[in-house]
């Protein structure tokens, strides 16, 4: 062969070795890149936790109570078939106090405000009445905690995308995980409190980073007996909705609760619950606020609101008389 000399063969061998090394390095690089890419793809496609595990950790966090003792004053407007009532509420270290400030959107008259003040004074100065109120609030909290605690076992959850948080629902702009739920056929409710869950379906919105429930919307798709049908029955179509919002960047408070149920109690007495409650205008108060101090704060704020309304109404009357 022309040019087949030892020097030529050495050059060809050297080139072959270089090409082989380049090929080997290239294959290894491509393989490594594919491995990393595949791993990144799998990581992106695999959720950090399963839906039921997310719900379980969120429920634990909810029942643990993570507000760190924060207390707030806020407005509570509740609307029923009979009209609406607006109350000014304050959380204290003993119980939640509330004073009525408007009925059907109209501020209370002077005699009605005096009656509210007297009612609150009686409650603040009566240890027995305050104990009854504390017990009622504890009982409500325990029933709510039992329902929340049952969620991971009572339902089967299915991912349903995400949606952004907004005012009163999570934290504005934060991504909320949406989970559809339906009854778990293997769930056996331990008491009549949890029996309502066996006929309910709907969806949850969860802040997966903070492990808080931003919204739960459930509807009865069948009649549900409670107390094994002895205590009563709730009709198909009943619905409840609860929303929570991050108030000051760290503390979460309920901001809305809608209830709509019909049925029978003790098989004879009709049940008809239809209400919409909205909580707003949250303002922090001292964490060590006593009930008596809370009552005084409510009375003061109620008086200021009434005076401001009177001044505003007076200004409007003046404008009617003198448009200039």
35 within domain boundaries: no
Give the residue among 273, 277, 296 at the shortest CA–CA distance from 286.
296
185 within domain boundaries: yes
Model pLDDT, residue 228: 53
4 within domain boundaries: no
Model pLDDT, residue 18: 41
- CA atoms of 13 and 7, how far apart (whole Å): 10
Give the residue among 253, 219, 208 at the shortest CA–CA distance from 48.
208
241 within domain boundaries: yes
Cβ count within 10 A of residue 294:
27
Model pLDDT, residue 269: 84
Model pLDDT, residue 310: 72
E strand or H helix at 120, and its extent? Answer: helix 110-124
Burial (CB count <10 Å: 0-12, 13-18, 19+), residue 130: middle
Buried/exposed code over 170-196 (b: 16+ C-beta within 10 A; e: otherwise): bbeebebbbbbbebbeebebeeebbbb
Model pLDDT, residue 44: 36
279 within domain boundaries: yes
SS3 call for 26? helix
φ, ψ of residue 50 to 5 degrees: the values are -70, 160
124 within domain boundaries: yes
41 within domain boundaries: no
Predicted structure pTM score? 0.77
Model pLDDT, residue 22: 34
Beta bridge partners of residue 84, listed in sequence order? 79
Beta bridge partners of residue 252, listed in sequence order? 246
The per-residue DSSP string of 157-201 comes to EEEEEEEE-BTTBBSTT-EEEEEEEEE-TT---SSHHHHGGGGEE
Beta bridge partners of residue 256, listed in sequence order? 243, 278
Model pLDDT, residue 252: 93
- CA atoms of 95 and 69, how far apart (whole Å): 13
Provide the number of structural domains found in the chain. Answer: 1
Q: Are 95 and 130 spatial neighbours (Cβ–Cβ below 8 Å)?
A: yes
- CA atoms of 277 and 79, how far apart (whole Å): 6
- Stretches in the chain below the pLDDT threshold 70: 1-48, 65-68, 227-230, 267, 311-324
Domain range enclosing 148: 51-316
208 within domain boundaries: yes
């Amino acid at each position: 062969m022309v040019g087949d000399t030892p020097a030529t063969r050495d050059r060809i061998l050297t080139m072959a070795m270089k090409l082989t090394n380049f090929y080997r390095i290239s294959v290894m690089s491509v393989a490594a890149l594919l491995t990393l890419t595949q791993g990144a793809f799998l990581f992106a496609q695999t959720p950090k936790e399963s839906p039921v595990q997310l719900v379980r950790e969120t429920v634990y966090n909810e029942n643990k109570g993570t507000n760190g003792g924060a207390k707030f004053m806020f407005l509570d407007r509740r609307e029923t078939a009979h009209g609406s009532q607006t109350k000014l509420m304050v959380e204290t270290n003993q119980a939640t106090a509330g004073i009525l400030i408007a009925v059907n959107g109209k501020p209370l008259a002077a005699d009605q405000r005096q009656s509210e003040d007297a009612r609150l004074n009686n409650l603040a100065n009566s240890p027995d009445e305050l104990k009854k109120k504390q017990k009622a609030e504890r009982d409500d909290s325990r029933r709510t905690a039992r329902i929340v605690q049952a969620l991971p076992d009572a339902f089967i959850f299915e991912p349903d995308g995400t949606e952004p948080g907004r005012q009163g629902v999570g934290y504005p702009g934060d991504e909320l995980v949406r989970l559809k739920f339906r009854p778990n056929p293997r769930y056996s409710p331990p008491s009549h409190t949890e029996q309502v869950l066996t006929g309910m379906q709907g969806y949850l919105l969860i802040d997966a980073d903070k492990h808080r429930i931003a919204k739960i919307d459930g509807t009865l798709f069948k009649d549900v007996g409670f107390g094994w049908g002895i205590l009563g029955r709730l009709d198909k179509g009943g619905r409840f909705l609860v929303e929570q919002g991050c108030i000051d960047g760290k503390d979460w408070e309920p901001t809305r609760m809608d209830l709509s149920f019909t049925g029978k109690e003790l098989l004879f007495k009709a049940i008809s619950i239809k209400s919409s409650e909205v909580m707003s205008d949250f303002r922090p108060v001292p964490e060590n606020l006593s009930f008596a101090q809370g009552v005084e704060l409510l009375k003061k704020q109620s008086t200021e609101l009434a005076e401001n309304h009177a001044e505003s109404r007076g200004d409007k009357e003046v404008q009617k008389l003198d448009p200039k």
